Structure 1
Amino acid sequence: MTTRVRDERGSAAIEAAIGLPAFVLFVGMIIAGGRLAIAHQSVQAAAADAARAASISRDARTADATARREAEASLANQQIDCRSTRVSVSTAAFRVPVGQAADVTVTVSCRLDLSDLSVPGIPGSRVVRATMSSPIDTWRERAARGFRIPDAYADVWGQS
């Protein structure tokens, strides 16, 4: 009985030609996923910074403007290049009476261009969104429209 010996020259090249593109694609997906996770973490940090800045403001209008400014600055400092940014600030907490707990909530949305995250030329974009809250000091005075010192204290504060 005779056995044939098969010539396996060139099989390594064929395996490399099949396996290498799959490996490169896999590594590219890992890099894109990691960069997307970093971008999401940066958007969360921007939302937290904006919520904190809003919570130490004295009134709702100032809180809204401060939160928007802080979110933009935080994203710029972290070098996150958003195609578009949207900041939504819930300032209803400023209408809560002093002595009751209240939180300011900020939502930051950032539309990222996918070509910035991984291999250039990948089409499309993705919205990364984060919402964070920060408490307003329970006993701090909150300026609101129509604020009036109660009559019982008017003589102390010089209002009548």
Structure 2
Amino acid sequence: MRIRAAGGRTGPPGPRRERGSFAVEAAVLVPVILGFALMAVAAGRLQTTGSVVDAAARAGARAASLARTPEGAQQAAADAVRTSLASRSVRCAAEPAGDPQYGTLDTDGGQLATVTVRVSCTVPLSDLLGLDGVPGHKTVTGTFTSVVDRYRGN
């Protein structure tokens, strides 16, 4: 038996009229959920890349602290930074390490010479997301200061 609904329509009674609503809800929600998932992946990859850049700055400062000359420190820092970034497959758009900066640290035992290495790496967002064709880039920076080794020899 058919029941006539208000307005003269006929159709099955009850919840059957909501047929197909799940497909519509899924079509609306799936892109939103995927967007949030991609944003979470990008944030995680950005955090990981920041950690790699920090580690490269540490490696560069330590290598520079062992060098005997400023020129040697610059070369040792650049090599250590490149090696550290390459080992984790981080590609920078430009040369990541600048010149090491020298300074002093006052302690109870006297002044200590320090060297600071700053690494700045501009990474394409397509590398962070793992998707080709994503426009844009993000610059990640890391800085580390190391005490110059007094006993490195002359």
| Secondary structure of the structure 2 residue equivalent to 1:128 | strand
Residue by residue over 1:87-138, the C-alpha shift from the partner in whole angstroms, topping out at 9 and shown as x without a partner, is 12334349xxxx621210000111101011113221011111111111113x
Aligned positions, number: 137
Indicate the residue corresponding to 1:34 in structure 2. 44
User: TM-score, normalised to structure 1's length?
Assistant: 0.77
| Secondary structure of the structure 2 residue equivalent to 1:58 | coil
Find the partner of 2:145 among 127, 133, 154: 133
The Cα of 1:31 is off from its aligned counterpart by: 0.7
Using the aligned pairs only, state the percent identity: 37
| Secondary structure of the structure 1 residue equivalent to 2:133 | coil
Tell whether 2:18 aligns with 1:8. yes
After superposition, the CA RMSD in angstroms is: 2.3
Q: Aligned AA for 2:89?
A: Q
Tell whether 2:89 aligns with 1:57. no
Residue by residue over 1:1-47, the C-alpha shift from the partner in whole angstroms, topping out at 9 and shown as x without a partner, is x9973511011001101100000001011111111111111111000
The Cα of 1:141 is off from its aligned counterpart by: 7.3
| Secondary structure of the structure 2 residue equivalent to 1:89 | coil
Contact 2:120–2:142 under 8 Å retained in 1: yes
Indicate the residue corresponding to 1:153 in structure 2. none
Q: Mark the runs of 5 or more structure 1 residues left unpaired by the alignment.
A: 144-160
Contact 2:61–2:100 under 8 Å retained in 1: no
Distance 1:59 1:40 in 2: 29
**Pair 141,112 (structure 1): closer, same or farther in 2 beyond 3 Å:** closer
User: TM-score, normalised to structure 2's length?
Assistant: 0.80
In the TM superposition, what are the counterparts of 1:11-160 in structure 2 within 5 Å?
A: 11-93=21-103, 100-118=111-129, 119-137=131-149, 139-140=150-151
The Cα of 1:85 is off from its aligned counterpart by: 2.8
**Pair 142,100 (structure 1): closer, same or farther in 2 beyond 3 Å:** farther
* Worse-superposed segment, 13-22 or 54-63: 54-63
